[in-house]
Amino acid sequence: MIGICALYATPNLYGEDHAVQISAGKNAVLDAAVVEKVTAELAAANISSKSIVLENDQILIRLKDSDTQLVAREKIDKALGDNYIVAMNLAPDTPDWLESLGGTPMKLGLDLRGGVHFLMEVDMKSALSKTLQDMAGDFKTALRDEGIRYRTVKQLDDGVEIYFRDQETLDSAEFFLKNRNRDLVFVERTGLVIFANMSDQKLAETRDYAVKQNITIIRNRVTQLGVSDPTVQKQGPDRIVVQLPGIQDTAKAKEILNATATLEYREVDLEHDVRDAINGRVPAGSELLPYDKGGPQLLKKQVIVAGSSIIDANSGVDQYGMPKVSISLDSKGGAKMLNFTKRAVGKPMAVVFIEFKTTGERDADDKLIFEEERRVISVATINGVFGNQFETTGLDSPQEAYDLALLLRAGALIAPIQIIEERTVGPSLGQENIDLGTKAIVYGFIAVLIFMLIYYKKFGFVANIALTLNLVMIIGVMSMFPAAALTLPGMAGIVLTVGMAVDANVLIFERIREEVKDGRSPQQAIHYGYDSAFSTILDANITTFLVGLILFAVGTGPIKGFSITLMIGIITSMFTAIIVTRVIVNAWWGGRRLTKLSI
């Protein structure tokens, strides 16, 4: 166990390289030609690199320092243009043989490694509009199922209006809807109209739900990005704080986090002439959307399946080598798709890509104004009946397929969001924190070693061996688990763990001293000393471990970082203080005739 921990702690000795990472944007590919272009650009600027490697659909350029990294990024970004995403990063310098065993350096938090801090604002107007849209659709379905006839249902900015032909039908509908929707407020207006709106409680719940769901989705996206120890939490009624350690350049992170992409599957309107729609005569119940590969498409407004029904999405290539996204629907969405395809074999179905983009303007309430952009990305003929599993094609590049699959897999945002504040924590500040934290650990560790050696003599030497192994095991365990990241409070947790490990040895050694004073032989004193102190050590560590577990469950950011190192340290310190020291003591003094102990 100690050997395994020592092996996985080894990558931390090699450090990290300052790197520039290149990813392909839309309508772009990464190949040997791009590598040659980058190499030539760096050579022209007299920038030497450690290596330039194309793998996993990315080009990684390792450089010697942060100054060279910054200049290289600017040169490459200018040379490649907007079709490529050029980002600064830190790449582990772990040897290949260690990487083949899964060895990676310990993950560092935002306060140690540097990274980016985003403050994001949720567009509540869009969230409430979506809720009102769902209300209008629900009213239509419910009244139709109940057999209550209505003229029309209109969605307004602040509610929904339902029009009727006579007072008797209106009264029946009002009674039915009030009993069915207790969290809504219904008011009768002149002209045989019922106005429905959300109650104050429902309004607050809708706003809170929009923020919480967006937080969940952003967390999923951050997980897809592979960022360790991120912070995603609510701030105020409509804002979210996102902190991403280890990311020096924000381009890719902003692209993924800020995206609001989702899909809708819609039926192509074959009953009307698309040319009439292009000339401005769009039939009711249909809409005209742009399609880059075949001209504008006339689609029916009714959605077959929306992105909210997608439970999994994976990118790949189809039988012709073209990029695709394999879609899995939930049971409700699968049933809808199955019912539609049963009656639509041989007819075309369109895939609509939807995203919200900020206009850069704000409304009267100083809230960001977003505009919805819809476009058709694929029109395909339905060749057979299908339900939960199918594929979406018509994408421009493998990178577009990958990004779309990532967004669909993580979930579409409930409401658009906009980054309103962005800060970068530089690695220089992180390095300063690392240096100060390392000094605290080293000074505290040396002080404990000296004290144990002077006060407990040879037994103190044994305890010092256990303390050193304990530190190696903590680093090894944290390096093995990607979810465990070291933060500045985590360093404090390591210092506290060292103290707790010494405390266990002190309890054992003092108990051995007491046994010697009571007249027991050295061998008996060692045996009873370890056995008697074990229950006390176990009780003390269990209670502290439970506190760490609670901190991990309810805490975020620095608190969680502290609790992780504390819990790992408790487990390793008990192992080294009780088992390792006893093995060494038995190997050193066991089976020997002793008249006294050096303790």
pLDDT tens-digit series, residues 518-531: 888 888 888 888 88
* pLDDT attached to residue 368: 60
> CA 520 to CA 598: how far, in whole Å?
15
**Closest CA relative to residue 589, chosen from 419, 462, 466:** 462
Local confidence band at 324 (pLDDT 50, 70, 90 cut-offs)? confident
Q: Is 270 helix (H, G, I), strand (E, B) or coil?
A: coil
Dihedral, 36, 41, 42, 46 alpha carbons, nearest 10: 130
Q: Is it the case that residue 575 has pLDDT exceeding 70?
A: yes
State the pairing for strand pair 368-381/389-392.
Answer: unpaired
What would the mean pLDDT of 27-44 be, rounded to a whole number? 85
Question: For 236, phi and psi rounded to 5 degrees?
Answer: 75, -170
CATH of segment(s) 205-423: 3.30.1360.200
Q: Which of 24-38, 143-157, 223-237 has the highest mean pLDDT?
A: 143-157
Within 10 A of 300 (CB to CB), how many other CB atoms are there? 18
Across 72-76, 366-370, 448-452, least confident range: 366-370
Q: Is it the case that residue 226 has pLDDT exceeding 70?
A: no
Task: With beta carbons less than 8 A apart as the criterion, state whether 25 and 82 touch.
Answer: yes
DSSP letter, residue 265: E
State the pairing for strand pair 262-268/297-306.
Answer: antiparallel
Expressed in angstroms, the distance from the first to the final Cα of the chain is 28
Cross-strand pairs, 590: none
> CA 408 to CA 263: how far, in whole Å?
8
> CA 122 to CA 428: how far, in whole Å?
32
* pLDDT attached to residue 532: 85
Local confidence band at 251 (pLDDT 50, 70, 90 cut-offs)? low
Write the pLDDT tens digit of every residue in 483-534. Answer: 677 878 888 888 888 877 888 888 888 888 888 888 888 888 888 888 888 8
> CA 599 to CA 591: how far, in whole Å?
18
Q: Is it the case that residue 359 has pLDDT exceeding 80?
A: no
Element (H, E) at 182: none
DSSP letter, residue 291: B
CATH of segment(s) 2-105: 3.30.70.260
Measured in whole angstroms, the distance separating CA 123 from the mean position of its chain's CA atoms is 21
**Closest CA relative to residue 400, chosen from 452, 323, 497:** 323
Question: For 503, phi and psi rounded to 5 degrees?
Answer: -60, -40
Write the pLDDT tens digit of every residue in 76-120. Answer: 888 887 677 777 777 788 888 887 888 888 877 777 777 778 888
Domain ranges of the chain: 2-105, 125-200, 205-423, 426-589
**Closest CA relative to residue 71, chosen from 44, 47, 40:** 47
* pLDDT attached to residue 440: 84
Local confidence band at 186 (pLDDT 50, 70, 90 cut-offs)? very high
> CA 61 to CA 80: how far, in whole Å?
14
Q: Which fold has domain 125-200?
A: Hypothetical Protein Ta0175; Chain: A, domain 2 (3.90.1070)
Token duo for residue 317? 């290539």
Write the pLDDT tens digit of every residue in 388-428. Answer: 887 777 666 787 777 667 666 655 566 777 777 777 666 55
Q: Is it the case that residue 194 has pLDDT exceeding 60?
A: yes
Token duo for residue 31? 């190949």
Write the pLDDT tens digit of every residue in 361-398. Answer: 666 666 666 677 788 877 878 878 888 887 777 666 78
| 140: alpha, beta or left? (left if phi > 0; alpha if psi -120 to 50) | alpha
Cα-based angle 250, 491, 540 (whole degrees, multiple of 5): 135
Task: With beta carbons less than 8 A apart as the criterion, state whether 122 and 238 touch.
Answer: yes
Within 10 A of 174 (CB to CB), how many other CB atoms are there? 17
Helix axes 398-410, 200-225, angle to 10 degrees: 140
Q: Is 518 helix (H, G, I), strand (E, B) or coil?
A: coil
Residues sharing a CB contact under 8 Å with residue 335, sequence separation 6 or more, in sequence order: 387
DSSP letter, residue 259: -
Q: Is it the case that residue 298 has pLDDT exceeding 90?
A: yes
Write the pLDDT tens digit of every residue in 139-150. Answer: 887 898 889 999
CATH of segment(s) 426-589: 1.20.1640.10
As a whole number, the mean pLDDT across the chain is 82
Q: Is it the case that residue 122 has pLDDT exceeding 80?
A: yes
**Hey, CA dihedral for 261, 262, 265, 269, is it positive or negative?**
negative
What would the mean pLDDT of 186-198 be, rounded to a whole number? 91
Q: Is it the case that residue 152 has pLDDT exceeding 80?
A: yes
Query: Bigger pLDDT: 420 or 162?
Result: 162
* pLDDT attached to residue 408: 66
Local confidence band at 175 (pLDDT 50, 70, 90 cut-offs)? very high
Write the pLDDT tens digit of every residue in 2-14. Answer: 888 888 888 888 8
**Closest CA relative to residue 372, chosen from 207, 276, 260:** 260
Cross-strand pairs, 58: 23, 55
Question: For 272, phi and psi rounded to 5 degrees?
Answer: -125, 160
